Amino acid sequence: MKKELLICSVLSFALFLGFMPSDSYAVDWEYRNIVFVKMPVTEKLSMMFQQFDTWGGGHTQSYTELALNYLKKSGVPEVGFAYREYRWGLPGAWTVERRTAVQAGYSKKLIGLNFVERCKIESRTFDETIKQPGVGTPSNDLRFRNAFEIVIPLNLTKLEICPFIGDEFFYSAKKNIIELNWLYGGLQFKTPINKLSMGVDVRLQHIRFSATGAWTTQKSWGTKLFYVF
């Protein structure tokens, strides 16, 4: 237990450094919420639904995503296909984006920690091209995303508590730059109910985004409600 608490303290300090004030321009804090549902279709296929919404930060974001994932057996990467309809921007200046993606994910337990790697290649198509603050005028693009996460399972109570920290970067093929980076961390609380695993995680995010290479930062906090059948 001492080892897990030491690692948790180190990761918390790393996240704190990420949330220290920056010299670059920063927009207001925002709140983000995700509702996540995953259920089996067959023994190897599963379906996933996500609904994402934000409040604050001077703008609004919302998306709905459906995905179909395939896992041949335990211990190998899970692969899948996803479709997302995304609306973001300022009231009266909405940008509507449609994303289709192929994705893969893999997790491995080592030294009492869960290491999670997720990657995605997504095609971004815009119905409108309205200039957005800090982002510029968006255009159709192909983007690669990669996320790495460390989860620390702690069985301190009947409720499973899992501190976590992660980082995800977004590479734009059209711009040939990393246009977005998320550093995040928080606590996940989950409990099994029969064949259903449900819970919530509470997280902080340090978000950096760029249209041309000049970074803008934003801090956010959020929740994720999840139901896994």
Q: What percent of the chain has pLDDT over 70?
A: 78
Torsion of CA 166, 177, 59, 57, to 10 degrees: 40
Q: Which two tokens stand for residue 104?
A: 């893969």
Q: What pLDDT is stored for residue 212 in this prediction?
A: 66
Mean pLDDT of 68-95: 87
- Over residues 3-30, the pLDDT tens digits come to 444 444 444 444 444 444 444 444 567 8
**pLDDT at position 137 over 80:** no
- Over residues 31-81, the pLDDT tens digits come to 999 999 999 999 999 999 999 998 876 668 899 999 999 998 888 899 999
Give dist(CA 11, CA 164) in Å, integer.
8
- Give DSSP secondary structure letters for 96-137: EEEEEEEEEEEEEEETTEEEEEEEEEEEEEES----BTTTBS
Q: Which of 44-58, 118-132, 179-193 has the lowest mean pLDDT?
A: 118-132
Beta strands 141-151 and 113-126, pairing class: antiparallel
Domains identified in the chain, total number: 1
Alpha helices by DSSP H, the chain: 2-18
Q: What pLDDT is stored for residue 94 in this prediction?
A: 76
Q: Kindly report the backbone phi and psi dihedral angles of residue 192, in degrees, each rounded to the nearest multiple of 5, phi listed first.
A: -85, 140
Which residue range is the domain that position 189 belongs to? Answer: 2-228
Q: What is the pTM of this model?
A: 0.83
CATH code, domain with 171: 2.40.160
